[in-house]
Chains A and B, each alone.
Chain A
Amino acid sequence: MSDTESSADAHEHHHDHHEGPGYATPAEMRTESTREKTAFVMAPRVGMDVDGPDFVGVVDVDPDSPTYSELVDTVEMPNRGDELHHFGWNACSSSCHAEGLARDHLVVPGQRSSRIHVLDAEDPRDPTIEKVIEPEAVFEYDLSAPHTVHCVPEGKVIISMLGNADGELPGGFLQLDQTDFSIDGRWEADRGEMEMNYDYWYQPRHGVMVSSEWAAPETYYPGFDLADVESGKYGDSIHIWDWESREHVQTLEFGEAGRIPLEVRMSHNPEETQGYVGAALTSNVIRFYEDADGVWDWDVVIDEEARDHPDWEMPVPPLITDLLLSLDDQYLFFSNWLHGDVRMYDVSDSANPRLVDRVWAGGNFGDRQTVGGKDVRGAPQMLQLSRDGRRLYWTTSLFSSWDDQFYPELGEEGSLMLKADVYPEEGRMELDEEFVVDFGEAPGGPARAHEIRWPGGDCTSDVWQ
């Protein structure tokens, strides 16, 4: 027994056929783990007039606990200015046959600082900082702006890096060793025509990795300028990589159909060779898939419309900023950060998603602007689904400088964490008006809550061989 929460409630490793961290199959993770009791939540304060560092928060999500829906612990970073954003595990189900390995450390990068923190997270209610990789050590590899963290088989952690040491293009991938979190160097052997980077997912059984594009750090860091889109400084493509040779093999260029493709989610079923990417600005969901001849192709499978707003000059795009797939690959959820809703699609027929439900909270178009007596600052953004697919949680901040443009109150008062109950058998969800975590009330001053992860793994962390 080695995984976080395993002895207490997550029931990892109880099967004889595997000894490492995680679960043998996505179905085992979905049905044999137990309910999440705490959440790790990134909580940046960068760009606020709060004289304090960003922190990793622990939120109590156990309804039987006296501190349910409260922020019960905060681990402040040693420096200010990091902009904690996304984070990941040292090990997950991709290493589930690796004996002696445990899911017990979180790798927590600073998006702006390029500093990388390693937290001992064995105790889900009391994580501690174990190691800090300073920015200078990252810049030595001519990389900056760490984003997505995935653990991968063979004892490694790979982080997508969005810029070079000057915050310009190209980005790349930084590889860490799982044993001591030292930097191995760059992951990629040949990045081909890839310049921009953002998120990535991989399917080791099929030897493929897929990465997406935001922009150069110097472009997106200061805020979203439409002139930068017009001059081609924002991404419109995803990249297919050979997982074994670490070479770039194909670019899928979406053009107008897929401006700013951000989160990449492939099916959890390791037999599948397909996935979805949310094109934030165009507000399309694009399905990518491998053809019979081994070449990758794509189709727009969800095409959302901009809406007129009485107080805005131009039609407002929904801005799809996050999406995720349930562990059984049946439901796709995504957030429309400028409109203010979370959508739920049935993707059992993977090329033909069917809208089954949506929940509104905050944003520029929703009727519901308060939840549990609190004004909703911001709108649905980073999502996390419970392993059993029955509870969807989200936070409402996007990125400090972009928040300032669209929801400036987030920079003064912090953001919220909210929840909906999901009924997969009925294909619907309902906002839980009783669950509101206000990061504006965090000890030491307000913070913007961002990515959420469960101890024991979740549907945006784990990959299966």
Chain B
Amino acid sequence: MSVHEVTLRRRDGGEHSLRVAADETILVAAERDGVSLPFGCRYGACGTCTGRLLDGRLAHAEPPRALKDRHLDAGYVLLCVAEPRSDCRIEVGASVQADLVSNPWK
């Protein structure tokens, strides 16, 4: 099983690198390393764990139901169901989820 280097980057500039096997999710690998990421349902429905892929390739092991086509096109990924397919750099943290939907009346 191949293992990839995944770099998590927070918007305040903090970075953390993880070794993630191709059959495990970014969230599970981060938890194993003691890195706290936001999450909710853990099956791809809620979007709390949303990150943005800056570089590399990921595959969703379950349908990413919380993301619409426009989000997938813009590189948003669900870290609770995303497995690495190459070395990756991912933007993480609670504020990434807030990008998904804006205030519709403003």
Contacts and interface: CB of A to CB of B under 8 A. Distances in A.
A167 B45 contact: yes
A49 B38 contact: yes
Interface stretch (B15-23, B52-60, B82-90, B96-104): B96-104
Nearest to B65: A218
A166 B41 CA distance: 10
Interface residues of B, number: 30
Given A49-B93, A49-B94, A405 B42 contact: no
Contacts, number: 115
Interface of B is mostly: loop
B94 A167 contact: no
B106 A311 contact: yes
A80 B38 CA distance: 8
B48 A400 contact: yes
Given A81-B42, A313-B105, A313-B106, A405 B98 contact: yes
A221 B50 CA distance: 12
Interface string A201-218: 000000000000000011
A226 interface: yes
A401 interface: yes
B65 A168 contact: yes
A80 B48 CA distance: 12
A83 interface: yes
Given A221-B45, A400-B48, A401-B48, A46 B106 contact: no
Interface in B21-46: 36, 38-46
Interface string A304-316: 0000000111111
Interface of A is mostly: loop
Nearest to B98: A404
B96 to A, nearest CB: 10
A80 B37 CA distance: 10
Contacts of A114: 41
A314 B104 CA distance: 8
A187 interface: no
A51 interface: yes
Interface of A: 46-49, 51, 80-83, 112-114, 135, 144, 163, 166-168, 217-218, 221-226, 311-317, 400-401, 404-406, 408, 411
